[in-house]
């Protein structure tokens, strides 16, 4: 068995004296693991860092085996993360989200979205909004997608500013007025409205995605929200104070 694909490194763990087990999100083969022999060498360690884009050649005797990776660096994003606390923690967070996906299950759209997020990590004005959108895509690919296209009450597509925490469906301004204190706020940028979102909008978006991630994904698995997300939320709060 053999294939060649590009992917983003999610993490590595030590295996034996000199090798590592590499985990990557690949374009055509989904989240995939493989053994990298000599992965702890000086030449490979800078390449095998979370966030780096690499070309992977996977080989195994049969499909179900762990297999071996041969790795070639394409774009070494991780070097940019060293000077940014936000980038380092945000990378751990998005990697943790991708690990929720079944292994070897292709998600080409999510792979592309991950690439867009990685490119802007460290930019406190841009990264949090993209991560909120990425979290929405994670929810969708896990089968818990939100319906933000039309009002759950009236069917209207205008002035959708709330989301029902019960159904995960959008609610219009008029329909939700009487229950506004029980609804989650829906920032316009999550519905594809163009323009740079304000810090308050991004904070609302992260509260929205956190609610559904905790309820539908993390709590049923008995795991906590990744620590990297706390740093992300703090960064957005700091931006709001500056504004």
Query: pLDDT digit string (tens) for 51-103?
Result: 999 999 999 999 889 999 999 999 999 999 988 888 999 999 999 999 999 99
Question: CA distances (Å), 138 to each of 114, 160, 192, 217, 242, in order?
Answer: 10, 22, 17, 10, 30
C-alpha span between 148 and 186 (Å, rounded): 9
Better-scored residue on pLDDT, 243 or 162 = 162
Determine the pLDDT at residue 93: 95
Question: CA distances (Å), 178 to each of 147, 159, 173, 183, in order?
Answer: 21, 15, 10, 10
* pTM exceeds 0.85: yes
Q: What share of the chain is helix, strand, coil (3-state, %, to 5)?
A: 40, 25, 35
Determine the pLDDT at residue 238: 81
Determine the pLDDT at residue 240: 62
C-alpha span between 237 and 19 (Å, rounded): 41
Count of other CB atoms within 10 angstroms of residue 179 = 12
**Rounded mean pLDDT, 13-17:** 94
Query: pLDDT digit string (tens) for 109-127?
Result: 999 999 999 999 988 889 9
Mean pLDDT, rounded, of the chain: 94
Determine the pLDDT at residue 196: 82
Query: pLDDT digit string (tens) for 167-217?
Result: 999 999 999 999 999 999 999 999 988 878 999 999 999 999 999 999 999
Pairing mode, strands 19-26 and 30-36: antiparallel
C-alpha span between 204 and 206 (Å, rounded): 5
Is CATH 2.40.50.140 what the domain over 2-76 is classified as, yes or no? yes
- Closest to 175 measured CA to CA, from 145, 147, 144, 153: 153
C-alpha span between 205 and 211 (Å, rounded): 10
C-alpha span between 127 and 228 (Å, rounded): 13
Count of other CB atoms within 10 angstroms of residue 82 = 10
**Domain spans of the chain?**
2-76, 81-148+186-242
Q: Is 73 strand, coil or helix? A: strand
Tell me phi and psi for residue 48, to 5 degrees: -90, 55
Beta strands in 133-225 (DSSP E): 160-163, 170-172, 184-185
């Amino acid at each position: 068995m053999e294939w060649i694909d590009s992917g983003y490194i999610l993490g590595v763990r030590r295996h034996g004296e000199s090798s590592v087990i590499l985990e990557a999100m690949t374009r055509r083969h989904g989240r995939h693991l493989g053994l990298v022999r000599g992965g702890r060498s000086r030449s490979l360690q800078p390449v095998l860092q979370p966030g780096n884009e690499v070309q992977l050649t996977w080989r195994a005797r049969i499909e179900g085996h762990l297999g071996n990776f041969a790795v070639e660096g394409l774009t070494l994003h991780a070097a940019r993360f060293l000077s940014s606390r936000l980038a380092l923690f945000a990378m751990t967070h998005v990697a943790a989200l991708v690990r929720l996906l079944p292994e070897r299950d292709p998600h080409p759209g999510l792979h592309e979205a991950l690439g867009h997020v990685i490119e802007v990590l460290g930019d406190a004005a841009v990264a949090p909004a993209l991560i909120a959108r990425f979290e929405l895509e994670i929810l969708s690919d896990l089968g818990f997608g939100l319906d933000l296209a039309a009002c759950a009450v009236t069917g209207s597509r205008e002035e959708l500013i709330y989301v029902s925490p019960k159904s995960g469906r959008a609610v219009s301004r008029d329909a939700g007025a009487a229950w506004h204190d029980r609804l989650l706020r829906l920032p316009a940028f999550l519905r594809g409205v163009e323009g740079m979102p304000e810090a308050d909008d991004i904070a609302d978006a992260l509260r929205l995605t956190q609610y559904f991630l905790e309820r539908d994904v993390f709590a049923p698995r008995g795991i906590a929200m990744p620590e990297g997300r706390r740093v992300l939320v703090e960064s957005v709060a700091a931006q709001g104070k500056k504004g």
